[in-house]
Every structure is written in C-alpha cells, then in structure tokens.
Homo-oligomer: A and B are copies of this chain.
Amino acid sequence: MSPHESPVSTPIAVPPKRERRKHARPGELLEAALHVFVDQGFGAAKVEDIASRAGVSKGTLFLYFASKEELFKAVVRDTIVGQLSQFQVAVDTFEGPTPELMRTMVHAWWQHSHANGSTGIAKLMLSEGKHFPELANFYRTEVIDPARGLIARLLARGLARGEFRAIDPTYGPYTLLSSMIFLALWHHAPGLRSPQDGPPSAQAYLETLLDAYLGGMLVRQT
C-alpha cells in the first residue's frame, strides 16, 4: 500500500492470493472428491484425479486430509450433516393438510439433495458401505433413520388429523422412502434409463409417486 492511499476505502483487507487459496483448498478438494467418488466409486477413484480436478498436486491433498479414507469421510460429513434438521422443524411448525406438507417436503428434499450432491452419496453408501462399516453406521444413524422417522411423523400427523389411514409402522415409511432413494440412485445411473424417455424429470416422477402414494393413504370418502 502506498503511503498516499487512504486505508479507509478498503477497511477489509483483501487477502493475498496464496492465503485466499489456502482457505478455499479444503472446500475445493471436497467438491472435487465428491465428483470423482460418485463418478468412479471409492475404490476406483484415484487421489491424483481428485487433486488435479481441484487444481492441486497429489501431495497437496494429503496436506489437508490424512488419507483417501479420511477424505471420503469428510466428503460424506460435509455433504450430509445438518441436512435434515431443517425438515424436522418444518413438520413441527406447518399448519395445514398433511398431504400438502408431504408434497412440499418431498419436493424440497429433492431440490436440496440434488443441489448438494447427497444423491451421489446415497449411491456411494450403497455400493461401498460394506467396506466402511463406520461410515455406513454414520450414514444410517445420521441420514436414513432420521429420514424414516420424519416420514413416520408425517404419517402419524396425518393419522391423528384423520387424513391418513393406518399403515404398518415399520415398513410403511419405506414405501415412500424407497422410491425417493431410488430416484437418487437412478439419477446416477444414466446407462440404466431408457433413452427414448428423455432425461428423467424428477418433478414428474415425484408427482406421480405422490399421487399414487397419497391416493392409497387417504381415507376413502364415501
């Protein structure tokens, strides 16, 4: 800074390039890792590919993550944690018909999951969960169980309000959840989708799903 410059105009100093990059590194690496892990699977992913996708060398990656496995854990944690808490609140505070709440939440879930990459994580956990029991555990307790619980509360709310009929408490939630998870997985398996159908529309898929599901759950009006 020259002595004539007024420091007032730049009260917040712009960090030097190196410094700024340093703070961005973990995030850049996590993003790159999510992409490569989802694309290749954990075993087939090469750390060098992840590093070069983040624009750094192999060695740099190990400056931030102690091992490939730790990187994987960090990706899962970074992508998933704190995803579901907001949905919990929504269920508790919403006022109005349960079908509408369900509709809203299912769509919101997809929007979030699709945007932050957690659909790819779901695929990963299914494929490689066996090799990472600790992570699978983490994923189950942090993601699957809460998600199932959330749907269970939704069903209970509908039942209490006379909107839904009763359903098996253990497997009932899975009836909806399974189709949602399938959508996530399906999204990452382009080779398995019929090309003639064009790109799958998550909107339409979910709408159809909700239509069928709610049609089944709603109490029959005479």
A interface list, Cβ under 8 A from B: 39-41, 43-44, 123, 125-131, 133, 136-137, 139-140, 144-145, 148, 165, 167-168, 170-172, 174-175, 178-179, 181-183, 185-186, 189-194, 197, 204-205, 207-209, 211-217, 220-222
A43 CB to nearest chain B CB (Å): 4
Question: Is the Cβ of A178 less than 8 Å from the Cβ of B178?
Answer: yes
A77 CB to nearest chain B CB (Å): 15
Query: What residues on B are CB-neighbors of A39 within 8 Å?
Result: 130
Question: Is the Cβ of B128 less than 8 Å from the Cβ of A41?
Answer: yes
| Copies of the chain in the assembly | 4
> Which residue of B123, B175, B193 contacts A179 across the interface (Cβ within 8 Å)?
B175
> Which residue of B186, B192, B197, B217 contacts A136 across the interface (Cβ within 8 Å)?
B192
Query: What residues on B are CB-neighbors of A214 within 8 Å?
Result: 216
Provide the bound-state CA to CA distance between A178 and B210, in Å. 13
> Which residue of B41, B194, B213 contacts A212 across the interface (Cβ within 8 Å)?
B213
Name the residue of chain B whose CB is nearest to the CB of A133: B191
A126 CB to nearest chain B CB (Å): 5
Query: What residues on B are CB-neighbors of A217 within 8 Å?
Result: 212, 215-216
Question: Is the Cβ of A130 less than 8 Å from the Cβ of B40?
Answer: yes
Q: Can you list 16 A-B pairs, Cβ within 8 angstroms, ordered by A?
A: A39-B130, A41-B128, A41-B130, A44-B131, A126-B127, A129-B191, A129-B192, A140-B191, A140-B193, A140-B194, A171-B205, A171-B209, A178-B209, A211-B216, A213-B216, A215-B215
Question: Is the Cβ of B172 less than 8 Å from the Cβ of A208?
Answer: yes
Query: What residues on B are CB-neighbors of A205 within 8 Å?
Result: 171, 174
Question: Is the Cβ of A212 less than 8 Å from the Cβ of B208?
Answer: no
Query: What residues on B are CB-neighbors of A193 within 8 Å?
Result: 140
Provide the bound-state CA to CA distance between A85 and B105, in Å. 39
A63 CB to nearest chain B CB (Å): 12
A121 CB to nearest chain B CB (Å): 12
A123 CB to nearest chain B CB (Å): 7
**Residue of A182, A183, A217 most packed against chain B (CB within 10 A):** A182
> Which residue of B145, B167, B197, B221 contacts A211 across the interface (Cβ within 8 Å)?
B167
